[in-house]
Amino acid sequence: MKALLFATVATFGATGDLSAGVAIVANPGSFGSIEKASLAEERVNWSDDDPADDIACTESFAAVELRDLLPKASNLLPSEIRLAAPAQMPAGGDVLLLATGDTNPFLKAIPEAARSDFVSEAAGSWRIKIFPQGDRTITVIKGRDRAGTLYGAYAYLEKLGMRFYGLGEQGTVCPAKPGPLPRQLDAAEKPSYLTRGFWAWEDRSDRLFSTWMARNRLNFWCTADKKNFYFNKKVGMKLTAGGHVIQFQCLNPQAEYPYRRARIAGDDAKPADPYAPSPQTTGDANQDGKLSYFEAHPEWFGLVGGKRSNKNNGDFGDNYCTSNADATTELVRNLVRECVAGTWRDADVLQFWMLDNGKWCQCEACQAQGSCTDRTLMVVDAALRGLAQARAQGLLKREVEISTLAYHETLPPPSKPLPAGFDYAHCSVTYFPIERCYVHPLADPACTEINRQLEEEYRGWTTGPGRCYTGSIFIGEYYNVSSLKSLPVLFPRIMAADIPWYYRHGARHFHYMHAPTRLWGVWTLNQYLMARLLWNVESDADALLDEYFARFYPTTSAATRAFYRELESATANCKAYKHYVGAGGNRWFLRNALQSSRGPLFPLDHLQYEPHHPLLNDGPDLVEIVAAIERARRHLDESLRTCRDAAEKARLGEDERRFAYGEAAIEFLHRMVRTAIRQRENDPVGATAEFALAERAAEKLERIVDLVQVASRDANAKNGLEAAGLDRAYKSFKQRYGTAAAAP
C-alpha cells in the first residue's frame, strides 16, 4: 500500500511543500475550481439524468465546509488548509481525499478504498478511513452518493469533537481543547431511515435552517422554499410537493375545461376533446362564457346527498368520483404535466392525498370499489402508471416518488388486493396518527384509551397477517401539530421509544409537519435528538442527552437538565389540553368542553383537573402540569443566575423566551378552566376572580408575536392570545366575568 501511495506522488508530481498543513482534495468537474463548483448550484441542472454536475457541486461544497470548519475543530490554522483538485497529489502534509463513487482518481492507488463495497449501498452512506503514508496520513472520505460524501465530511468534524446542535454559531459547539488530526480512524455509517426531515409546503426557511439540516443528515424539505431551493438541492435534499391540493390542482371542478367544445366561443384553439360528451352536462350554466370541468362533466365529481358536488376549495371539500375512469385519466394527465414542466417540476416526492376530511362519492360504482383506503390506492396506482409512462417516453427525466396517506378515514389498511403490477418501488404510504397522545409511546400497552387503536391500525399496514399493502411506510408525526402553535413542548422520551419502534415495525421514512425554523429555544433538543435517532435508531438516547446537556450547557448542566425534565413532564399531555385526542371513536377537545355546561369537563383518564392516577391511561393532570411549570421556572432561573459562559447564556436566554410563552399559555389555560369550574358551580364571584387572572395572562400572551410566527401558516398566529385557541370561550367569559362586566 505504501508503495502504491508513493507511486501516486511520483506519477502526479509535487505541488509544493505543505508538511505542516493539510490539503483537501475534491473533484470540481467542469466548474474549474473547488470554490467555483461549491457555489455553482444555480448552474446545475438538478432535474436531468446526468449526475456529473450535481456530484461536483456537492462534493466541492463538502470540501469547502471542511476547510472552513477544521480550524474550529482542530489546532490547524486557516492558512494551513488548502483545497486541491485531483490533478496532482500534494507532495507533503496530510491529505483528505473526498470521493463520491469513483470521482477521485487518486483512489486508484488505494485499492481498498477504490472498491465499490468500501461503502454501504444505502443512499447517504459514507466511510472514513485513514491510510498512513510515511510521516503523513491520507484520509479517505467516501460517499455512496454525493449526499453521503457531504455527510462523511460532517461526520469527520464530529469525530474531532464538533456538534451541530442548533442553528448557526449559537447552536454549534466546538471542542474545548482542539488537537491534531487523527492518525488512525476507520468509521462507516448508513442511515436507518432513508427519508428524514419535515413536511412543509411554504417558502419559509432560511440558510441557517437548511445548513443545520444538512449537518445533521436530514434530507426532506419542500420545493416551495424558493429562496433556498438551489442550496437545498446542493446539500442532498429530497424536495416534496402536493398534499391535499392534488384534486384542486389537477381536477378542479371550477377550472376551465381545456378541450374544444361545440358552441363555446373561444374554444377553437383548444385541442380536441378526448372524452365523450356528458349526457349530464349543463353547458355554460353560470353564463361566464367558459365551460368548467364541472359544467362539462358533472358525473366526474362526487355524488353527495344525491347530487353531484363541485365543492373544492383547495384542501377541503368533496372528493371526485374515483370510479369514473375518464375523471381519473384526466387527473393523472394533469398530474404528469405538472411533474414534467409545471408546479411540481422540481418535486422528488409528490404527496398524493385526497381532501382533508373530505366527503366521498356515494355512487354505487364508487362504493363497490371498497373502503376509502382501497379507493385511494386505486387512484394512486393510476398516477404511478402515468409517471412511469412519462419516464419511458423521455418526458420525465427524473425519478418521482408518490407518497399517499393513512389518515382519518384511510387509517385502516386496504381491504382488497392492490392492482396487479402496483409500482411499490415509487410509492410509500404515510401513516399520520393525529389523534394520538404523547404521554405514552404509541405502542405502550398502558395507553388503551387513545393510542391502542392507532397502534393496531399501524400494525395492519406493516406486520399484520394477510395484509394487502406490502410497500414502504412513511411516518408523519405531529410534534408541532397546528394547535400547539410552537409551544415549548418536549419529546425526548417519546422520540427515544417511538422512532426505533416505528423502524422495527417497518417504517423507513419519517417527517413531522409545521416544524419551527427559527427561535427554537427548547425546540433545539427535539430537533437534534430526532435527527440523530432517524439516522441511527440504535443510538443511545440517554448518552446523547448526557452529552447534550454537558456540552450545550457546560456551566449549568444539572439545573438546566432539571428544567428540561420538568418542562417535558408539563407538556407531555399537550395533545389533550391544547389540540385533541381520539378516544372511544370520538375526538375530545378541551377548548370545546370549556364552552359547554353539559357533561364532565374532564371525561378522560388521561387528563383530569385534580391528581388522578389510574393503573392504565395515566397522564399529568392540570394541577400537576401547573406545578411542573412552576418547578421548571425555578430551575431555569437558577441556570440564568449561575451561568458563566457567554454562548450558554445566549442559549438559555432563547430557552427562557420560549418557555415564558408556554408559561403564560399554561397559566391562561389553567385560569380559564378554573373559571369554567366556578361557572359550573354557580359561583359568579369565584368565576370573576379566576377570570381576572386569566385576563392578566391574556395580556402577556397578546404581547407575544415573533415566537408564534416561526412555523407554517397553520401553526402560526397573530399573537400568543390567538395561539391559545380559546377565543370563543374567552369572549363568552369576558362578557360575563370580565372587568367591564364585573364593575357594577
572 close to 487: Cβ distance less than 8 angstroms: no
Cell of 302: 362526487
Number of structural domains in the chain: 4
581 DSSP 8-state letter? E
Q: At what angle do helices 492-504 and 523-535 cross, to 10 degrees?
A: 20
Give 638: exposed, middle or buried? Use CB within 10 Å, 0-12, 13-18, 19+.
middle
Residue type, 361: C
State the residue for C-alpha cell 488537537: 179
What is the structure's pLDDT at 379?
98
Residue type, 621: D
122 close to 102: Cβ distance less than 8 angstroms: no
The CATH number linked to 235 is 3.20.20
525 close to 548: Cβ distance less than 8 angstroms: yes
Q: What is the pTM of this model?
A: 0.95
Average predicted confidence (pLDDT) for the chain: 94
Residue type, 679: Q
The CATH number linked to 11 is 3.30.379.10
334 close to 251: Cβ distance less than 8 angstroms: yes
Q: How confident is the model over 654-676, as a mean pLDDT?
A: 98
Determine, yes or no, domain membership for 213: no
- For residue 547, how many other CB atoms are within 10 A of its CB? 14
542 close to 504: Cβ distance less than 8 angstroms: no
Question: Predicted confidence band at 41 (pLDDT cuts at 50, 70, 90)?
Answer: very high
Percentage with pLDDT > 70 across the chain: 96
State the residue for C-alpha cell 388486493: 417
400 and 293 housed in the same domain: no
Determine, yes or no, domain membership for 395: yes
First vs last Cα of the chain: how many Å apart? 94
Question: Predicted confidence band at 7 (pLDDT cuts at 50, 70, 90)?
Answer: very low
723 and 578 housed in the same domain: yes
541 and 628 housed in the same domain: no
Domain-ending residue, one of 518, 548, 578 = 548
- For residue 283, how many other CB atoms are within 10 A of its CB? 12
Percentage with pLDDT > 90 across the chain: 91
Q: How confident is the model over 589-598, as a mean pLDDT?
A: 90
123 and 233 housed in the same domain: no
What order of strands is seen across the sheet that includes strand 126-133? 81-84, 22-25, 94-100, 136-143, 126-133, 186-189
pLDDT in tens, 382-432: 999 999 999 999 999 999 999 999 999 999 999 999 999 999 999 999 999
Q: Does residue 143 register a pLDDT over 80?
A: yes
What is the structure's pLDDT at 584?
87
Q: Does residue 16 register a pLDDT over 50?
A: no
Q: Which residues contact 574 (CB under 8 A, 6 or more apart)?
A: 438, 484, 487, 489
β-bridge pairing 303-304 and 307-308: antiparallel
590 and 464 housed in the same domain: no
293 and 405 housed in the same domain: no
Residue type, 563: F
525 close to 544: Cβ distance less than 8 angstroms: no
65 and 160 housed in the same domain: yes
607 and 684 housed in the same domain: yes
**If we measure between CA atoms, which residue out of 458, 525, 479, 453 comes closest to residue 199?**
479
Determine, yes or no, domain membership for 216: no
Q: How many Å apart are CA 282 and CA 295, to the nearest integer?
A: 6
Q: Does residue 610 register a pLDDT over 60?
A: yes
Determine, yes or no, domain membership for 553: no
Determine, yes or no, domain membership for 219: no
Q: Does residue 453 register a pLDDT over 70?
A: yes
The secondary structure of 649-660 as a DSSP string is HHHHHHHHHHHH
Determine, yes or no, domain membership for 112: yes
Cell of 658: 420560549
Q: How confident is the model over 699-722, as a mean pLDDT?
A: 98
410 and 360 housed in the same domain: yes
Determine, yes or no, domain membership for 557: no
What is the structure's pLDDT at 13?
32
Q: Does residue 337 register a pLDDT over 90?
A: yes
Determine, yes or no, domain membership for 389: yes
Q: Does residue 706 register a pLDDT over 70?
A: yes
Q: Does residue 742 register a pLDDT over 80?
A: no
605 and 497 housed in the same domain: no
Q: Which residues contact 736 (CB under 8 A, 6 or more apart)?
A: 679, 684, 687
Q: How confident is the model over 628-648, as a mean pLDDT?
A: 98
608 and 638 housed in the same domain: yes
Q: How many Å apart are CA 427 and CA 442, to the nearest integer?
A: 24
Cell of 604: 378522560
438 and 495 housed in the same domain: yes
Domain-ending residue, one of 548, 578, 606 = 548
Give 354: exposed, middle or buried? Use CB within 10 Å, 0-12, 13-18, 19+.
buried
pLDDT in tens, 486-502: 999 999 999 999 999 99
What is the structure's pLDDT at 464?
86
What is the structure's pLDDT at 25?
97
SS3 391: helix
Q: Does residue 271 register a pLDDT over 50?
A: yes
Q: Does residue 743 register a pLDDT over 60?
A: no
Q: How confident is the model over 553-567, as a mean pLDDT?
A: 98
Task: Please report which helix (H) or strand (E) contains residue 516, including its range.
Answer: none
Question: Predicted confidence band at 702 (pLDDT cuts at 50, 70, 90)?
Answer: very high
Domain that holds residue 424: 229-252+305-548
- List, in sequence order, every residue forming a beta bridge with 163; answer none if it has no partner: 173
What is the structure's pLDDT at 598?
84
Question: Predicted confidence band at 739 (pLDDT cuts at 50, 70, 90)?
Answer: confident
State the residue for C-alpha cell 468500501: 118
Q: Does residue 19 register a pLDDT over 80?
A: no
What is the structure's pLDDT at 267?
79
What is the structure's pLDDT at 401?
97
